[in-house]
Amino acid sequence: MSIEEKINFYKNSLDFFEEKLEKYKFLLEQGKKSKPFPEEFRKENFKVKGCQSQVWLVPRFENNILDFYCDSDAFISKGMVTILTDIYGKNSPKEILDSNFELLKVLDLDNLLTQGRRNGMYSMLKKVKEYAEVFKK
């Protein structure tokens, strides 16, 4: 699936729920689906600055494809970082950088998350972009 198709998948998934609590539960469930996080990456240099909780985002670059390990010590943050890495992971750095990051707004997380969580989500997104910049050719 393309980045845009993944964003639309999550939009449709979140739109399915009418209540905020159900949407929160969906975010929590996404965190439970994340790949196991290697303990050797639980280091300060992989932490995302600007998050209320501790969030780790680790790039994996192989065959011109950028993917990520991610984790958080808070369930909502773990769900959000899992969604972001699912959307942007397994793509080339160029595909990531060429994508329309404004499309994420269709997920309407600004109305679901507190200001602190929104700031954290944007910090995670910024880190994804930074890693794509580092690995672009």
pLDDT at 15 over 90: yes
Q: Which residues are catalytic?
A: 51
Mean pLDDT, rounded, for 75-86: 94
Determine the pLDDT at residue 68: 97
Predicted local distance difference test score (pLDDT) of residue 115: 82
3-state secondary structure at position 58: strand
Examine the pLDDT at 38 and tell me if it is beyond 80. yes
SS3 at position 48 = coil
pTM of the predicted structure, to 2 decimals: 0.93
Counting residues of the chain whose pLDDT is more than 70, the rounded percentage is 100
What is the rounded CA–CA span in Å between residue 23 and residue 83? 13
Q: Are 6 and 82 in contact (CB under 8 A)?
A: no
pLDDT score recorded for residue 82: 95
Confidence of residue 116 (pLDDT cuts 50, 70, 90): confident
> CB burial class (10 A; 0-12, 13-18, 19+) of residue 114?
exposed
47-78: per-residue pLDDT in tens? 999 888 999 999 999 999 999 999 999 999 99
pLDDT, residue 124, reads 94
